[in-house]
C-alpha cells in the first residue's frame, strides 16, 4: 500500500491508554509525538503499521504507540523488522531504538541493513549516552566525556553514523532534533515514503544522565540543511555535511538518492503478490513436489 | 543375508570423487538398490584426502557398514591409505598410468586401467574417474544402462558431455569385463527406482512441503546444504531466502518473520547456534513459532567442521536464559528428516514456541535412498489457534490470554482491531510490559505458568515409544537421533548371534516422554547408552528426566561415525563387565600419520 494515497488521520488515533514513562523532559517524547503526527498525516491505518524496537529507554516506544509492535532484543530491531517486512511486505515497517542499541551492540545489523536495502524506516534516538543502564559511554559519546564507565573521560573515538550510513550505501540519510518537531515531522514523512531503507538519527537529549549534550547544547549548534542551500541529491555534498560536528551541526536531509535502486522486498520474486503471511494455503503443490522428486531419481 | 557391497572412492578434494560417488549412487538408486553414502573429508577446498563410502544393498541400509571391499583410488594417497583395509574377495580399481599399486591384502584383486589408452590422450583428467566408474560398474555387477542413464540425466543440456562420458565409461566397463574377475559378491538387480537424497536436501524440501516461506541462514558446515537448496529452489516455490550477516541476525530475522504469521526456518551448526541462543528466548517469551535446525559437528568451538558428533544436546537444552517452553527433536535417519519437518512446523504453530531440530553431519551430509512415494505426500498442516481475519464483533483481544491450555489464540499482525505489541520484557495478557512497574508477582507468576502449561500435553502429539529388537531382553541399548541406524543393525546382529538385546531410540528430547521411558526401562538389567560425544550428554539427560542411570556407556567422539561392528563388539565387552567403552576408528583408512615425537597415547577401545 502506498501511504501517499491515504486520507490523513488524527495523531490521537495512534495514542494508546498507556502513557510513556520516560523521565520528564526526555527527548523521546518529541520523537514519539512527531511520529504519531507523521503517520497520521500519511493516513497509515494502525493495523498496517509494525513498529519494531530493540532494548533501551527509547526502545519502549512501540508500547506507547497504537499499532502492531515488537519490543525485541537489545541491538536486534533491524533483523527482526527485516523478517517482519519479508513476511508481510504490504505493511509499513518502522524500526527504532537508541544509539547504543543501533550503533553499539547492533552495529553489524545497522551496516548490513543499509546495504541490504529493505524498504523500512529506521529511527535512532541518539542521546550520546546509555540511559537505561544509568549513564555509561555510548559509541556516539564525545571523546573525553565523563560518564559512569569513563570517570576519567571517554578515551575512545566518536562514531559518525551519518558518514557510516553514506558509506554503507544508505539511500536516505537524515538527522533530526527532538527540539524541532515540525522539521522532524517532515523528515519522518519523507523517510516513510522513501522506497528503500531510510535512516533518521534524531538528537534526543537524555535529561538525566547526559549533562553535556543537553537541549540547550544542541539548540546552540544545530542548523537546518534545508536553509543552507544543501543539495541532498549530491552524495559528496552529503558526506561533507555529515562530517560537520562542533560549533555547527547540520540537521535535515543529508542525502536522498535521486534514483533509488529497488529495495530487496520490491525485487524478491517471492514478495510480488500479497504478503506471504496472508497465504493460508501452505505447502508444495502436487506438481511442485513431483518436479522436486524428479531431481533425486 | 543381504546382497551388499561397500565401495570406497578416494581422492583429493577437487579430484571429482564426490561426483563419481554421486553418479554411482544414482546409478544404484535407478537400479532399485539401496545406498547409504557418507564422505569423510577435510576442511579444505583443494587437495587433502576425501573418502567417499557407499554401502550398496538390496536391503534397506541405515549406516555406513563395517568394511570396504571395492575401491576406486583416484590418487596414490588413496591407494596407500585404503588398500590395506579391503576385504578378501574385493577389488581395487585405479588409473594404472598414474597410480602405483600397493601390496594387496590376500584375496583382493588389483585392477589397473590403461586410462590413456581407454579414454584417449586428449581426454580431460576427470575422465579417469569415468573410466574407473565404468570398470567398477562391471565388476560389481551393475547394469551399464543405469550408469549411462545417469549421465544422460545429469548432463541433459550438454549432449556432447553425455557422449564423452558414456564412451569413456563403456571403455572402462568393457576392459574390466575382459581383464578382471568380478567382485566376490555381485549385486543383483533391485526393485523399482529409488530416490537418492541428502539429509540436508530432505530437511529443506520437507520445510517447503510444510509451508515454510521464509528461510534465513549464514553459511556454516555442515548445514550449508539447506541454504543451497533453498537458494536454488526458493524462487520457483515462492520462498523468500536471505543470507544474513551473522547467525544473530539470522535468528532474529526468522523470528521477526514468524511473528507475522509465516512459517519461518533457519539452520546452522553448533557455533552459529550459540549466536542464536538469545533470540531463542525471545521466541519463547513472545510465543513465536519458529523452526531452528542445528546440524551438529565436532565441537567445541570451531572443533571439527567436517566431522561427526552429537555434542550439542546440552547446548540445545540450555539455550537462552530463564524458563520457557521449547521442543527439541532429533530425527533418526535421513528419511525421518522429512517427517520431522512436518511435525516441527505443526508443533511450533500449535504450541507457539521455538522448535529446535538436532540433525548432525552424518545425517545431513550423508545421503541415502528413499522410496519416491515416501516423498510424494502432501503434509498435514495444522496451524493451531491462529486468526487471520477480524470477525467484526468488536470483542477485546488479548494476545497473551491466560487460557486453560496456556495457548493464546494468535492474531496475525495486519488484522484490524486486534493491535498488540509483543515484548521480550515480561508482560501481561494484553502484552503490556510489567518490567517497568514496581513489582507484580501475581502477573509474573501467571504468565510464567501460562507459558509452561503449554508443554504439559505436547508428548501426546509424539509417536509412542517402543523397544526394537528383542523387547523382552534384559539388555537394552538406548540412543538418540542418528545413532538409531547403526545401533539397530548392531542389535539385529547381536540377536542373530544369540545375544538378546533390545533398542530404545529417542527422537523427542524436550519435552521428554518420561513415563513411557520409565515403563520401558524400569525392569531392564543392563541399560547401555550409545551416543557420539565424550561427556555422555544423552545419558545425563536420560538420568535428569527419568532418574535412570545407564549401567554402561558406549561413546565415540573421534570424528568418524560408529560402524555396526563397533557397537556389537562394545556390547559384548559391556556384557563381560566393562561400564565405559570409548570407541576409536583404527583402520588404515581412518589413520593420519603422526610425526615422530611423544606419540599418540592409545585411549579407549580399539575396534
If one counts every other C-beta atom within 10 angstroms of the C-beta of residue B265, the result is: 33
Give all domains of chain B, ordered by start, each with its CATH number: 4-193 (3.40.920.10), 197-375 (3.40.50.970), 385-461 (no CATH), 467-606 (3.40.50.920)
Provide the total of helices (H) and of strands (E) in chain B, helices listed first.
Answer: 19, 25
DSSP run (H or E) holding A95: strand A92-98
B263 in contact with A at a CB cutoff of 8 Å?
A: yes
Rounded Cα gap, residues B363 and A294, in angstroms: 21
User: Has residue B606 got a pLDDT over 80?
Assistant: no
**Contact between chains at A79 and B237 (C-beta distance less than 8 A):** no
Is the alpha carbon torsion for B309, B315, B317, B319 positive or negative? Answer: negative
Topology of domain A3-295, per CATH?
A: Rossmann fold (3.40.50)
**Contact between chains at B262 and A277 (C-beta distance less than 8 A):** yes
Q: Tell me what pLDDT residue B41 has.
A: 87
pLDDT digits (tens, 9 = 90+) for B533-560: 999 999 999 999 999 999 999 999 999 9
Cβ atoms of A87 and B214 within 8 Å: the answer is: yes
Higher pLDDT, B596 or A154: A154
Q: Tell me what pLDDT residue B589 has.
A: 85
**B176-188: average pLDDT:** 96
Nearest to A73 among B253, B278, B379 (CB): B278
**Which residues from A are below 8 Å from B237, CB to CB?**
284, 288
DSSP 3-state assignment of A70?
strand
**Which residues from A are below 8 Å from B260, CB to CB?**
50, 83-84, 87-88, 91, 275-277
Of A4-13, B83-92, B174-183, which gets the smallest average pLDDT? Answer: A4-13
User: Has residue A242 got a pLDDT over 50?
Assistant: yes
User: Has residue B297 got a pLDDT over 90?
Assistant: yes
pLDDT band at B600 (very low <50, low <70, confident <90, very high): low
**A150-170: average pLDDT:** 97
Pairing of β B367-370 and β B195-198: antiparallel
φ, ψ of residue B214 to 5 degrees: the values are -130, 125
Residues 6+ apart with CB under 8 A from B471: B502
Q: In what order do the strands lie in the sheet with B580-584?
A: B467-469, B501-506, B475-480, B526-531, B552-556, B580-584, B605-606
Domain parsing of chain A, residue ranges: 3-295
Residues 6+ apart with CB under 8 A from A164: A110, A111
Q: Tell me what pLDDT residue B588 has.
A: 82
User: Has residue B112 got a pLDDT over 60?
Assistant: yes
Nearest to B432 among A18, A66, A269 (CB): A18
Name which of A1, A5, A4, A2 is nearest A90 in CA terms: A1
Q: Tell me what pLDDT residue B599 has.
A: 52
Window 163-222 of B: residues touching A by CB (8 A cutoff) are: 193-197, 201, 205, 208-211, 213-214, 216
N-term to C-term CA, chain A:
44
The set of cell numbers assigned to B143 is: 547394469
Q: Give me the count of residues in chain B.
A: 607
Rounded Cα gap, residues B120 and B117, in angstroms: 5
Q: Tell me what pLDDT residue B597 has.
A: 58
B425 in contact with A at a CB cutoff of 8 Å?
A: yes
pLDDT band at A4 (very low <50, low <70, confident <90, very high): low
- Chosen for mutation from B245, B249, B430 (greatest number of chain A CBs closer than 10 Å) is B249
pLDDT digits (tens, 9 = 90+) for B45-99: 888 899 999 999 999 999 999 999 999 999 999 999 999 999 999 999 999 999 9
Cβ atoms of B436 and B427 within 8 Å: the answer is: no
- DSSP assignment of A107-173 equals HHHHHHHHHHT-S-EEEEEE-SSBTTTTSB--TTSPTT---SS-TT---SPPP-HHHHHHHTT-SEE
CA closest to A81 among chain B residues: B256
- Residue recorded with cell 545417469: B150
B430 in contact with A at a CB cutoff of 8 Å?
A: no
Of A177-186, A231-240, B277-286, B590-599, which gets the smallest average pLDDT? Answer: B590-599
CA angle B189, B191, B196 (to 5 degrees): 95
User: Has residue B601 got a pLDDT over 60?
Assistant: no
Assign residue B559 a region (left: φ > 0; alpha: ψ between -120 and 50; beta: otherwise). left
Quote ipTM for the complex. Answer: 0.97
- Chosen for mutation from B260, B370, B412 (greatest number of chain A CBs closer than 10 Å) is B260
**Contact between chains at B195 and A296 (C-beta distance less than 8 A):** yes
Cβ atoms of B186 and B324 within 8 Å: the answer is: no
Cβ atoms of A177 and A203 within 8 Å: the answer is: yes
pLDDT digits (tens, 9 = 90+) for A246-295: 999 999 999 999 999 999 999 999 999 999 999 989 999 999 999 999 99
**B336-350: average pLDDT:** 98
User: Has residue A179 got a pLDDT over 60?
Assistant: yes
Q: Tell me what pLDDT residue B605 has.
A: 56
- Chosen for mutation from B31, B244, B249, B256 (greatest number of chain A CBs closer than 10 Å) is B256
Inter-chain contacts counted by CB atoms under 8 A, chains A and B = 214
Helix axis angle, A286-295 relative to B224-237, nearest 10°?
140
**B447-468: average pLDDT:** 98
**Contact between chains at B239 and A69 (C-beta distance less than 8 A):** no
**A184-195: average pLDDT:** 98
Mean pLDDT across chain B: 95
pLDDT digits (tens, 9 = 90+) for B204-218: 999 999 999 999 999
If one counts every other C-beta atom within 10 angstroms of the C-beta of residue B110, the result is: 17
CA distances from A222 to A189, B187, B474 (A): 21, 83, 82
Q: What residues are paired with A199 via a beta bridge?
A: A122, A173
Cβ atoms of B263 and B211 within 8 Å: the answer is: yes
B272 in contact with A at a CB cutoff of 8 Å?
A: no
Name which of B251, B231, B256, B184 is nearest B422 in CA terms: B256
Window 461-500 of B: residues touching A by CB (8 A cutoff) are: none
User: Has residue B568 got a pLDDT over 90?
Assistant: yes
Q: Tell me what pLDDT residue A1 has.
A: 45
CA distances from A7 to A12, A39, A183, B298 (A): 15, 11, 22, 59
Cβ atoms of B68 and B49 within 8 Å: the answer is: no
Window 371-400 of B: residues touching A by CB (8 A cutoff) are: 372, 375-376, 378-379, 381, 383, 388
pLDDT digits (tens, 9 = 90+) for B393-429: 989 999 999 999 999 999 999 999 999 999 999 999 9
**B305-332: average pLDDT:** 98
**Contact between chains at B205 and A70 (C-beta distance less than 8 A):** no
Name which of B242, B8, B20 is nearest B131 in CA terms: B20
User: Has residue A124 got a pLDDT over 70?
Assistant: yes
pLDDT band at B604 (very low <50, low <70, confident <90, very high): low
Rounded Cα gap, residues A271 and B27, in angstroms: 39
CA closest to A79 among chain B residues: B253
Burial class of residue B158, CB neighbours in 10 A (0-12, 13-18, 19+)? exposed
Of A95-99, A107-111, B157-161, which gets the smallest average pLDDT? Answer: B157-161
Mean pLDDT across chain A: 96
**B432-461: average pLDDT:** 96
User: Has residue B607 got a pLDDT over 80?
Assistant: no
Model confidence, pTM: 0.97
pLDDT digits (tens, 9 = 90+) for A66-102: 999 999 999 999 999 999 999 999 999 999 999 999 9
Helix axis angle, A286-295 relative to B199-209, nearest 10°?
170
Rounded Cα gap, residues B313 and B490, in angstroms: 24
List helix spans (H) across chain A.
28-42, 77-87, 99, 107-116, 161-167, 181-193, 215-221, 235-242, 264-267, 286-295
Amino acid at each position: 500500500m502506498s501511504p501517499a494515497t491515504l486520507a490523513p488521520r488524527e495523531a490521537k488515533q495512534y495514542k494508546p491508554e498507556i502513557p510513556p514513562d520516560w523521565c520528564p523532559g526526555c527527548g523521546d517524547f518529541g520523537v514519539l509525538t512527531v511520529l504519531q503526527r507523521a503517520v497520521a498525516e500519511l493516513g497509515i491505518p494502525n493495523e498496517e503499521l509494525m513498529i519494531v524496537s530493540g532494548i533501551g529507554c527509547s526502545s519502549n516506544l512501540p508500547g506507547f504507540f497504537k499499532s502492531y509492535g515488537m519490543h525485541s532484543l537489545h541491538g536486534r530491531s533491524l533483523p527482526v523488522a527485516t523478517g517482519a517486512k519479508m513476511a508481510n511486505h504490504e505493511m509499513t515497517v518502522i524500526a527504532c531504538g537508541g544509539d547504543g542499541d543501533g550503533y553499539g551492540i547492533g552495529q553489524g545489523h545497522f551496516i548490513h541493513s543499509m546495504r541490504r536495502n529493505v524498504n523500512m524506516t529506521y529511527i535512532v534516538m541518539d542521546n550520546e549516552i546509555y540511559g537505561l543502564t544509568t549513564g555509561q559511554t555510548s559509541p556516539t559519546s564525545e571523546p573525553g566525556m565523563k560518564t559512569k564507565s569513563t570517570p576519567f573521560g571517554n578515551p575512545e573515538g566518536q562514531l559518525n553514523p551519518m558518514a557510516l550510513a553514506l558509506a554503507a550505501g544508505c539511500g536516505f540519510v537524515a538527522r533530526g532534533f527532538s527540539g524541532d518537531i515540525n522539521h522532524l515531522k517532515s523528515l519522518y514523512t519523507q523517510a516513510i515514503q522513501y522506497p528503500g531503507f531510510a535512516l533518521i538519527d534524531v538528537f534526543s537529549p537524555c535529561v538525566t544522565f547526559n549533562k553535556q549534550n543537553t537541549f540547550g547544547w544542541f539548540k546552540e549548534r544545530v542548523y537546518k540543511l534545508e536553509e543552507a542551500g544543501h543539495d541532498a541529491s549530491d552524495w559528496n555534498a552529503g558526506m561533507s555535511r555529515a562530517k560537520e560536528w562542533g560549533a555547527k551541526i547540520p540537521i535535515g536531509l543529508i542525502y536522498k538518492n535521486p534514483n533509488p535502486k529497488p529495495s530487496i522486498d520490491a525485487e524478491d520474486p517471492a514478495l510480488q503478490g500479497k504478503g506471504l503471511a496472508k497465504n493460508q494455503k501452505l505447502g508444495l503443490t502436487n506438481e511442485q513436489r513431483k518436479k522436486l522428486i524428479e531431481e533425486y531419481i | 543375508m543381504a546382497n551388499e557391497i561397500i565401495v570406497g572412492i578416494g581422492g583429493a578434494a577437487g579430484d571429482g570423487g564426490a561426483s563419481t560417488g554421486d553418479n554411482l549412487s544414482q546409478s544404484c538408486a535407478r537400479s532399485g538398490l539401496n545406498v547409504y553414502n557418507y564422505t569423510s573429508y577435510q576442511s579444505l577446498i583443494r587437495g587433502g584426502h576425501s573418502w567417499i563410502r557407499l554401502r550398496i544393498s538390496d536391503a534397506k541400509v541405515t549406516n555406513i557398514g563395517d568394511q570396504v571391499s571395492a575401491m576406486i583410488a583416484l590418487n596414490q594417497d588413496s591407494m596407500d591409505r585404503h588398500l590395506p583395509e579391503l576385504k578378501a574377495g574385493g577389488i581395487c580399481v585405479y588409473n594404472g598410468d598414474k597410480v602405483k599399486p600397493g601390496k594387496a591384502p590376500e584375496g583382493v584383486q588389483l585392477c589397473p586401467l590403461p586410462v590413456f589408452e581407454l579414454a584417449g590422450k586428449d581426454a580431460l583428467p576427470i575422465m579417469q574417474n569415468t573410466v574407473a566408474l565404468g570398470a567398477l560398474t562391471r565388476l560389481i555387477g551393475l547394469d551399464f544402462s543405469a550408469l549411462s542413464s545417469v549421465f544422460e540425466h545429469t548432463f541433459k543440456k550438454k549432449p556432447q558431455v553425455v557422449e564423452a562420458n558414456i564412451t569413456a565409461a563403456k571403455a572402462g566397463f568393457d576392459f574390466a569385463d575382459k581383464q578382471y574377475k568380478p567382485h566376490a559378491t555381485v549385486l543383483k538387480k533391485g526393485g523399482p527406482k529409488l530416490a537418492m537424497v541428502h539429509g540436508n536436501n530432505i530437511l529443506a524440501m520437507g520445510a517447503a512441503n510444510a509451508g515454510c516461506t521464509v528461510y534465513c541462514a549464514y553459511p556454516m558446515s555442515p548445514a550449508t546444504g539447506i541454504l543451497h537448496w533453498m537458494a536454488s529452489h526458493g524462487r520457483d516455490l515462492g520462498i523468500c531466502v536471505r543470507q544474513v550477516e551473522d547467525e544473530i541476525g539470522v535468528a532474529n530475522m526468522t523470528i521477526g518473520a514468524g511473528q507475522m504469521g509465516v512459517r519461518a526456518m533457519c539452520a546452522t551448526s553448533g557455533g552459529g547456534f550459540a549466536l542464536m541462543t538469545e533470540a531463542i528466548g525471545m521466541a519463547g517469551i513472545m510465543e513465536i513459532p519458529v523452526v531452528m535446525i542445528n546440524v551438529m559437528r565436532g565441537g567445541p568451538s570451531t572443533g571439527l567442521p567436517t566431522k561427526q558428533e552429537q555434542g550439542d544436546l546440552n547446548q540445545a537444552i540450555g539455550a537462552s536464559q530463564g524458563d520457557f517452553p521449547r521442543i527439541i527433536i532429533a530425527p533418526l535417519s535421513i528419511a525421518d528428516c522429512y517427517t520431522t519437518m512436518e511435525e516441527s512446523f505443526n508443533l511450533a504453530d500449535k504450541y507457539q514456541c521455538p522448535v529446535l531440530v538436532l540433525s548432525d553431519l552424518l545425517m545431513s551430509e550423508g545421503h541415502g535412498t528413499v522410496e519416491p512415494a515416501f516423498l510424494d505426500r502432501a503434509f498435514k498442516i495444522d496451524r493451531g489457534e491462529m486468526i487471520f481475519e477480524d470477525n467484526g464483533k468488536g470483542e477485546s483481544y488479548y494476545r497473551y490470554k491466560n487460557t486453560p491450555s496456556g495457548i493464546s489464540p494468535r492474531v496475525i499482525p495486519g488484522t484490524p482491531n486486534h493491535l498488540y505489541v509483543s515484548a521480550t520484557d515480561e508482560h501481561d495478557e494484553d502484552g503490556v510490559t510489567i518490567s517497568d512497574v514496581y513489582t507484580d508477582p501475581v502477573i509474573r507468576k501467571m504468565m510464567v505458568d501460562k507459558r509452561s502449561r503449554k508443554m504439559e500435553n505436547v508428548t501426546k502429539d509424539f509417536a509412542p515409544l517402543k523397544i526394537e529388537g528383542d523387547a523382552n531382553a534384559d539388555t537394552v541399548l538406548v540412543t538418540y537421533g542418528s545413532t538409531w541406524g547403526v545401533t539397530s543393525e548392531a542389535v539385529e546382529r547381536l540377536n542373530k548371534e544369540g545375544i538378546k538385546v533390545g533398542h530404545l531410540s529417542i527422537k523427542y528430547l524436550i519435552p521428554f516422554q518420561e513415563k513411557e521411558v520409565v515403563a520401558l526401562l524400569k525392569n531392564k538389567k543392563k541399560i547401555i547408552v550409545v551416543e557420539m560425544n565424550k561427556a555422555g550428554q544423552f545419558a545425563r539427560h536420560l538420568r535428569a528426566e527419568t532418574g535412570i542411570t545407564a549401567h554402561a556407556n558406549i561413546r565415540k567422539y573421534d570424528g568418524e561415525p560408529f560402524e555396526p561392528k563397533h557397537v556389537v563388539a562394545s556390547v559384548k565387552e559391556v556384557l563381560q563387565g566393562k561400564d565405559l567403552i570409548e570407541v576409536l576408528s583404527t583402520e588404515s583408512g581412518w589413520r593420519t600419520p603422526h610425526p615422530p615425537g611423544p606419540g599418540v597415547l592409545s585411549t579407549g577401545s580399539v575396534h
